[in-house]
Amino acid sequence: MPGTLQHSELDDGGPKTAPDQLQELRHDGSVLSIAVSGDYIFTGTSKGQIVVWSLGTYQLVRTIQAHKRSVLCLFLSQDGKYLFSTACEPIINVWCPKTFRRLYEIYSTYDVGDVFSVVYSPQNETVYFGTQTQYIQWVSLKDEDRRVSHDSANHPDRRQHKFFDSRAVGGTSTPRRTEDYYSLIPRAETVLEVDPYAIEKYAHYGWVFCMQIAKGPTVLVDDDEEVLVSGGGDGTIKLWRLSDKGPGYHEDEDTKGSIQELMVLGEDDAESVMSLFVDGSFLYAGKLGGIIELWDLDTKQRLRVIHAHTGNINAVGLRFGLLWSASTDGFASKHRAAHTTEESNGTSQYVSQRYQCLSRWKAHNAKILSAAVATYQNNQLFITGANDNTVRIWHVNGAPAETEEVDGEHEDMVIRSLRQFVSYKTVSSRPEFTEDCRKGATFLGSLFKRLGAQVEMLSSDGPHNPVVFAKFSGKLEPAEKRKRVLFYGHYDVVPADMAGENWKTDPFKLVGQNGYLYGRGVSDNKGPIIAALYAVSDLLQAKALDSDIIFLIEGEEESGSRGFEETILKHKDLIGHIDYVLLANSYWLDDEVPCLTYGLRGVLHATVCVDSKHPDLHSGVDGSNMISEPLTDLTLLLGKLKGPRNKVNIPGFYDGILPITEEEELRYDDIASILIKRNPTAGPVDALKRSLMARWREPNLTIHRYNVSGPDGSLISSHATANVSIRLVPGQEVEEIISKLKSFLKTEYEKFDSDNTLTVRIDNKAEPWLGVPGNYIFRTLEEAVMRAWGGSSSSSPSTSTPSDTDSASSPSSPSSSLSDNEKANGVTLPPNATNGETTSTGAAAPKTRKPLYIREGGSIPPIRFLEKEFNAPAAHLPCGQASDSAHLHNERLRLVNLQKSREIFTTVFRKL
């Protein structure tokens, strides 16, 4: 072959560092094929399923049983109108990529075996497919003559089968395999039977692994003429001229049917062609053994042979000015593309010099069987799928094409900033992490400053972690007219115990999986802080920030907010006047319904100590009724605190508790009924309602632990302590409860007539908080939540069944469940779906409704303090789901929750 170049050894000159992995999507089957639309990632699996993931949130949207066998190929038409799928069976399916309806079922009257490749010609409205029997066949979607009934005798499931139906005289046929999941394959709206003459037999002398439709790729055709390109197991690449004539049309004996051979490349090479990509007159062929060939279709020259991998190259493509490939060796790579530069002269010498490996990284510890390159909100993505049942999304930094915007990197900065933030081990409860806490505070301060804030590190006189103060100034003039909103959060986290492989991933390394972000603090409270920060940044860039936004991010909330009040009081003049207080430091009641929190219990932690004047004694030598034992005294004393059914015996303990109002009673009824509908096992309704009221609006006292002096053994300890906490509710004053607790313990202890000494120490305290659901800040939050979430927040996957298909065809208004931001970005939903998601039962999620107004049993010490100190109403927006596992192993935050929280904060900061 003229112009053939010898390939070099495997190019390992590029960096081995992998690009940022945004997400890992897991399913239960090998990923054999991938297609990407503007909204979804479609993956074909070894279980015959098409698994649909949201490209924006990486959540599982739908699982469709598409075929009986492994889905070998997925192809999305250029106009996005059709999604084609083929499998290890003689059936081609055509789907609507927005409604997921099965529009067409196509089959051949020949026994073609597996169908490896499929493409679509928009000009001819014709489907072409390559088969295991080395054929290329085709059919027009608009050919009325090819439409047949669903029960046609020629269907592969019903016609004579060479194996199953063959039998000797007097014998029986082999029963055909039938699986229960076959019934889950949706019924096609139209069935097309390929004309027996619409066939190019032995198009290759090997399986037809790959095909592509290219417009004007060679001087042999017009610039706007479509050409079919095919690659086969015989190592050849063929170009075919397409005709709109019928299958039986013959101009001369060299023309058979509707395709005519134009060109054959690679007849001297028997290595199978596994993947193809045509760019202008250049053709890239991924082959066995890790080879990428570059062909000039005008001169028929093989310009370059790139030894890119050690395994078979199952995916090759050109995007962002770079050549991308993925192989069965588990590696992905990008190479510099020569002809995209202006000085390219097309000579073989220049091309040979220009193709170099820029990066080659281990993308999977398995065989990569499929890959795709895509953009989403101007982020450049390389998506790989392998036989380890995973899809991985990589954020790549290629050179943007001329038609693509280069300023969209700001969107990805949210994840990048959160990844850095999570990497700091800001554990405030352990002294060994003190330096990490300071570094985390410094990072956050620098991030605030880069995004336009005035930043100060506030501290008290004690050895406490600093409070990060950041002020974003609004544009409304004069400054006195601006509203001032205070956002409270905390950058410290609870410890992450790695013992016993409790964490599936490194807790201080942000990892994306199945639409969730995993890492310590991602939900509590680093993710919400980043969402609020970039919401302000959005408004600043849009010149739409009228109010001043003040951030106070402390570093010891997980340790009782020690020193926080002193720090705020010390710097109150710097903080200035505040109109509203906003925080986002908790979670929904379940994984389905957004919530707003308007009440929190207060808390006080106390240590009760009993000390003896004697040292530790031996219970056998010294023990007698003449000795008052500290642990016995402490046990008897703490037993006085509570009676049957957890009733607290402290006199006046329940005085002042606010009675329940009719409005609040109805609120509990609403919450309980919704939770029961979603999870019937949580019932009955009355019991659930009572449980919520007990945890949210009733106080409680808990004895946590005992400690004694001396080693284990037969000792009378000289010192015994116990830790006690009391959860308080609105109407109970912290100082009054402290006084009553101390008085009660002292009075009861005096009755013991003990020689030991009692001490009660208050370790920390926080007042209960009760907001006003009907005030302006809550109304603003409610409106923002409804606008952002649209329909439902449900994230449960569903499986498409015949009934799903029928219901999907009924009229609906899918756009009503989209946020304005989604509509602006062209997001569309299938009918009767909400964000493409359903409830855990597979039914469509409910329509838009108001968020649930809830109270919580936990405590956030600063909220009531800030509300009182600045005389400003507070409101609380839970950002995460109940399953976020905050404070537990494998803490996570759903990506869509992070995005929606940012959208909600943007609306609230703009309106307040």
- H helices of 335-459, in order, are 348-354, 409-423, 434-450
Given a contact cutoff of 8 angstroms between Cβ atoms, the answer to whether 35 and 50 are in contact is no
Task: Give the count of domains, the chain.
Answer: 3
Buried b (16+ CB within 10 A) or exposed e, 401-423: eeeeeeeebebbebbebbbebbb
**What pLDDT, on the 0 to 100 scale, is given for residue 679?**
82
Domain membership of residue 27 (yes or no) is: no
Instruction: Kindly report the backbone phi and psi dihedral angles of residue 258, in degrees, each rounded to the nearest multiple of 5, phi listed first.
Output: -105, 5
518 phi/psi in degrees, rounded to 5: -105, 140
CB neighbour list of residue 466: distance below 8 Å, 6 or more residues apart: 438, 441, 457, 458, 459, 555
Instruction: Judge contact between 865 and 575, C-beta under 8 A.
Output: no
Angle ∠(803,806,809) on CA atoms, nearest 5: 150
3-state helix, strand, coil in the chain (%, to 5): 25, 30, 45
What does the alpha-carbon distance between residue 866 and residue 488 come to, in Å, rounded to a whole number? 9
Identify the residue whose tokens are 């050849």. 236
In a domain, 120, yes or no: yes
Phi-psi bin for 571: left (phi > 0), alpha (psi -120 to 50), beta?
alpha
Rounded Cα distance, 183 and 68, in Å: 10
Residue with tokens 């929904």: 588
- Residues 909 and 579 sit within 8 Å (Cβ to Cβ): no
In a domain, 257, yes or no: yes
Same domain, 587 and 705: no
Kindly state whether residue 150 falls inside one of the protein's structural domains. yes
What is the 3-state secondary structure of 468-485?
EEEEECCCCCCHHHCCEE
What is the CA angle 256-259-261, rounded to 5?
90
- Residue 347 is predicted with a pLDDT of 41
Co-location of 622 and 545 in the same domain: no
CATH code of the domain covering residue 594? 3.40.630.10
Domain end point (choices 746, 765, 784): 765
C-alpha closest to that of 80 among 45, 35, 115, 123: 35
**Regions in the chain scoring below 50 on pLDDT:** 1-8, 252-256, 339-353, 399-411, 792-846
User: Per the domain annotation, does 471 fall within a domain?
Assistant: yes
CB of 152 closer than 8 Å to CB of 167: no
| Residue 144 shares a structural domain with residue 231 | yes
Task: Report yes or no: 371 and 384 within 8 Å, Cβ to Cβ.
Answer: yes
Orientation of helix 895-911 relative to helix 409-423, angle to 10°: 110
State residue 123's pLDDT score. Answer: 87
3-state secondary structure of 122: coil
Domain-located, residue 124: yes
Is residue 231 within 8 A of residue 276, CB to CB? The reply is: yes
Same-domain pairing of 591 and 613: no
Is residue 444 located within the same domain as residue 555? yes
Asked if residue 684 has a cis previous peptide bond (ω within 30° of 0), the answer is: yes
What is the CATH classification number for the domain harbouring 641?
3.30.70.360
* Rounded Cα distance, 144 and 140, in Å: 9
Tokens encoding 4: 């053939």
What pLDDT does residue 462 have? 79
**What is the reported pLDDT for 304?**
87
Helix (H, G, I), strand (E, B) or coil at 418: helix
- Tell me which residue of 82, 129, 87, 134 sits closest to 108, measured CA to CA: 129
Nearest one of 506, 367, 517, 385 to 27, comparing CA atoms: 385
Q: What is the pLDDT of residue 174?
A: 65
Q: What integer pLDDT is reported at residue 168 of this predicted model?
A: 60
Residues 529, 628 within the same domain: no
Residue 284: CB atoms within 10 A of its CB come to 24
DSSP reduced 3-state for 126 = strand
What residue has token string 């693509």?
404
Please tell me the distance from the alpha carbon of residue 383 to that of residue 42, in angstroms, as a whole number.
11
Tell me, what CATH number does 122's domain have? 2.130.10.10
For residue 729, give its domain range. Answer: 604-657+698-765
Beta bridge partners of 623: none
Residues 433, 165: Cα–Cα separation, whole Å? 72
Q: Could you give the C-alpha distances from 266 to 206, 215, 226, 300, in angstroms and in order? A: 13, 21, 22, 10
Q: Are residues 618 and 535 part of one domain?
A: no
Residue 53 CA to residue 412 CA, distance in Å, equals 19
Q: Which pLDDT does position 833 carry in this prediction?
A: 33
Q: Do 585 and 734 lie in a common domain?
A: no
For residue 806, what pLDDT is reported? Answer: 36
Entry pTM:
0.80
Which residues lie closer than 8 Å to 188 by C-beta, 6 or more apart?
93, 102, 103, 104, 105, 150
Give the type of residue at 785: V
The three-point CA angle 512-515-519 to 5° equals: 40
Query: By the 8 A CB rule, do 57 and 894 touch?
Result: yes
**Distance, CA of 686 to CA of 127 (rounded, Å):** 59
Query: At which of 748, 765, 782 does a domain end?
Result: 765
CA dihedral (513, 518, 522, 523) positive or negative: positive
- Residue 26 inside a domain? The answer is no
Q: Are residues 545 and 622 in the same domain?
A: no
Domain check: are 126 and 237 in the same one? yes
Q: What's the length of the chain?
A: 912
* Residue 824, Cβ density class (10 Å: 0-12 exposed, 13-18 middle, ≥19 buried): exposed
Q: Going by DSSP bridges, is the β-strand pair 580-583/874-876 parallel, antiparallel, or unpaired? A: parallel
Q: Is residue 235 located within the same domain as residue 259? A: yes
Query: Considering 240, 270, 300, which residue would you say is the last residue of a domain?
Result: 270
What pLDDT score was predicted for residue 17?
79
Rounded CA gap, 601 and 768, in Å?
5
Does any domain span residue 298? Answer: no
Residues near 391 by Cβ (< 8 Å), separated by ≥ 6? 24, 25, 27, 31, 34, 41, 43, 53, 383, 384, 385
Residue 249 shares a structural domain with residue 130: yes
Please name the helix (run of DSSP H) or strand (run of DSSP E) that holds residue 683, with its range, or none: none
> The tokens of 398 are what?
């290629």
Q: Which token pair is 745?
A: 């313990």
